[in-house]
Amino acid sequence: MERGLYIAASGMLAEQVRQNQIANDLANSSTPGYKADRSTQKGFGEMLLENSTTGQTVGPIGLGVVVDKTATDFSAAPIRDTGEPLDFAIEGDGFFEVRTAQGNRYTRNGQFMRSAQGQLTDSLGNPVLSRNGGTVQVQADGTVAPNAIGVFKLNNPQKAGDSLFTGTAADAATGTVRSGALESSGADPARAMVDMITSYRAYEAGQKVIKTIDETLNKAVTQVPNLTG
């Protein structure tokens, strides 16, 4: 019976991880170029039960679950026109490159702006880089030629927060830059809400199992001795 507590608790912990991931997706459902995450679970393993008297196999019992991994879905999202001269979207594969205090980072969020020095920057003030690694200057009319912005193929991309990714830049990507447009968020609010409700119900089920086992153990401790005494 104690094993049941651990199995239920492991399920609740796995659902907590999943709920945090879903909440992050919901919070970024309107963030341009955001890429949604998907969490997968796996069992700790199974133990084969058998009758201690006859040796007959009863069947397997699971030992709980754990979050196997959280993978990012890099599928391209629809591109919407904004008409803003410093909004850019990548049609196809690739990432924009920006220079941060922690080193170069990569993003699909092309909602850029002009700095006081006339450079093209992201919303955090990080300079956007060209194909040769230099900064991009905004022209006098407030525009930037799409081919002035670098688009890079990224190996092993990992989320670093603020719509930024780390990874190893390879050759120029096949994607092309489109001005006056932004890539939509890859998070689907409707799907995220359904996933959140499903996860919450699974979490509640684990709570009920723990409560039931706890009540049963309490009766075993407090009532059974009185009956046998």
pLDDT 10s per residue in the chain (229 long)? 567 777 888 888 888 888 999 999 999 999 999 999 888 776 655 545 555 567 666 555 556 676 777 889 999 899 999 999 999 999 999 999 999 999 999 999 999 999 999 999 999 999 999 988 899 999 999 999 999 999 999 999 999 989 999 998 887 778 899 999 999 999 999 999 998 999 899 889 888 888 888 888 787 777 766 655 5
Give the C-alpha distances (Å, rounded to integers) separating 64 from 67, 68, 151, 198, 216: 11, 12, 44, 18, 20
Nearest-angstrom CA–CA distance, 197 and 203: 10
What is the predicted pLDDT for the residue at 197? 93
Predicted TM-score of the model (pTM): 0.76
Residue 118 Rama label (left phi>0; alpha psi -120 to 50; beta): left
Structure confidence at residue 47 (pLDDT): 47
- For residue 176, what is the enclosing H or E element? strand 176-179
